[in-house]
Chains A and B, each alone.
Chain A
């Protein structure tokens, strides 16, 4: 038996379980907010084409529209100016083997609950490695905050007069993951891979700046990270093959061994 047939066997016997890390695409799900004078990403919208009616008697279907960065979505390196000239930097040119990798889940639940502006640091990551082992190369590092459990969009977006307050990584943590751990990318449960207040970091939005500048990827608006073990999951995250796309909504799956 080769590895793949063992895999199929493990699926059918229930030894491997598939966890859906994806939020449902729906109009009510919050979208990224930019200052109103800037260009805006479309939120997810859906219009009925027909529903077994005079517009199409035996079939139901919809047209939907959304930006590349809507719902649970993938960020390609070309999304950021730091990654604009890299090879294989867009959704259609990224080698497909990059869409599958091991997942390391960093549990920041308590810290994020205590402080919505919590920044994940390099010492925090080193502490995690002491317990769970070194982050392997080409891994998805997923920051678990249980932010996805905030079902009320107001709490999920968490705005006040100074803008958004959501957790994310700090500058050194991102640099460390890229340079010293050679990660595939970084994923979060909130609406950005960067913290809500990351505009004030130097550089602004460091996760976008350094990850994409080094040809790595981002995943945001993930859910069900609480169902994953700290290590051992396999993450499958394949964006739509949009020509020169900067990202795309996608279905993110994790395989876990029970």
Chain B
């Protein structure tokens, strides 16, 4: 993919449109799996039939005992067509659009959006579209180098390539690994925030050497600072990565007063609110701004947002608050097609988790998961083994997880 032409700043920016978003409650099962990057279809517990589209009962035996189960993604493209006309506003603006019928190895025949290189044997993937709903996309069976650049595929992903990105905190190892990851992925501009500019931090010089990087003072606890930075760059940012985090290791009874908890809330919760209020509106206006439009908002949360880890109790609470607010942000960004990606790592291998035993996710591995999630269009990211295990336990029985974590 060529670098998109620079925007002519006097031309009108088209308003975002969305593909059809209505789904039944049953059909949201596909969305729930796609949000995690999983390909799951309904499977009948009685007769084993896999079916699509989702229904209330098994199309073969009429049983209502249907489970969403991971399915092998293989299939064959047996028919294809190119839309040259559509009355749907979203597709109308993106014509021509290639669609096909894929016979899945697991049984059902599905209508899929086609990658330009998809033919013969294909891999089906459930992906979230700009409306946040799952659809099936057929990809070529074999990866080729610039697969992610496909025009249709980019409507489902939030690929950092050619995009302009704000990383809120460049002082942390995670922030610095993210910047490196985005630079390698071909980001056009990376603004890197750093609070308290009078305190020099390790890694500053390395960041400055990256050609795409511009360092900008940014303290998410300072509304004026956030407003001023947004005034300068919000109209250009395609991806915001809110990785600013305040983390101390206290519960209720081993720290007097509320000052630590307040600082955590100020950064982790109100920081997100400040960024979202100042950067959200401009991003919403640029949801359909050509090949490098505003596409994503990433929040670095924590698995502790799901269940409180008492030794880091006030931190967990602040992340739970941020998680709730991120759901609000997701709803508010959805009309513009801007995806809110929430990241739920287990303990990060940083100084505030010094006393926790391994396994801890390395900052570089976490950054890699975030970049990969944007490229693959994943909305809820549980990076690494610890987070994956927590996710499974939480889905299985949230109450049991609460007891296990607080044991």
Contact = CB atoms under 8 A, between A and B. Distances in A.
A27 B198 contact: no
Please indicate which of the listed interface residues B196, B198, B257, B263 has the most CB atoms of chain A within 10 Å of its own CB.
Answer: B198
B259 interface: yes
A33 B224 contact: no
B380 interface: no
Contact of A159 (B199, B248, B260, B263): B199
Contacts of B224: 27, 46
Given A39-B259, A40-B259, A40-B263, A45 B221 contact: yes
A154 B198 contact: yes
Contacts of B197: 153-154
A141 B224 CA distance: 36
A118 interface: no
5 contacts: A27-B225, A33-B196, A43-B222, A47-B223, A159-B199
B344 to A, nearest CB: 24
Interface residues of B, number: 16
B219 interface: yes
B200 interface: yes
Given A30-B198, A45-B221, A153-B197, 7 more contacts: A33-B199, A39-B259, A43-B222, A45-B222, A154-B198, A157-B198, A159-B199
A159 B225 CA distance: 22
A210 interface: no
A156 interface: yes
Contacts of A159: 198-200
B397 to A, nearest CB: 36
Chain A interface residue bracket vs B: 10 to 19
A27 B225 CA distance: 8
Interface of B is mostly: loop
Nearest to A67: B259
A157 B200 CA distance: 11
Contacts of A27: 219, 222, 224-225
Interface in B222-281: 222-225, 248, 257, 259-260, 263
Contacts of A156: 198
Contacts of A39: 257, 259-260
A45 B199 contact: no
Nearest to A156: B198
5 tightest A-B CB contacts, nearest first: A157-B198, A153-B198, A27-B222, A154-B198, A30-B198
Nearest to B247: A36
A3 B82 CA distance: 96
Contact of A46 (B199, B200, B223, B263): B223
A31 B198 CA distance: 10
Interface string B132-170: 000000000000000000000000000000000000000
Interface in B43-72: none
A166 to B, nearest CB: 12
B198 to A, nearest CB: 4
A44 B302 CA distance: 29
B348 to A, nearest CB: 16
Interface in B183-205: 196-200
A147 B271 CA distance: 32
Given A40-B259, A40-B263, A45 B200 contact: no
A157 B222 contact: no
A30 B197 CA distance: 9
Interface string A32-56: 0100010110010111100000000
B265 to A, nearest CB: 13
Nearest to B227: A48
Nearest to B222: A27
A157 B199 contact: yes
Contacts of B259: 39-40
A257 to B, nearest CB: 37
Nearest to A33: B199
Nearest to B260: A39
Nearest to A48: B223
A27 to B, nearest CB: 4
Nearest to A47: B223
Contacts of A47: 223
Interface in B322-336: none
A46 B223 CA distance: 7
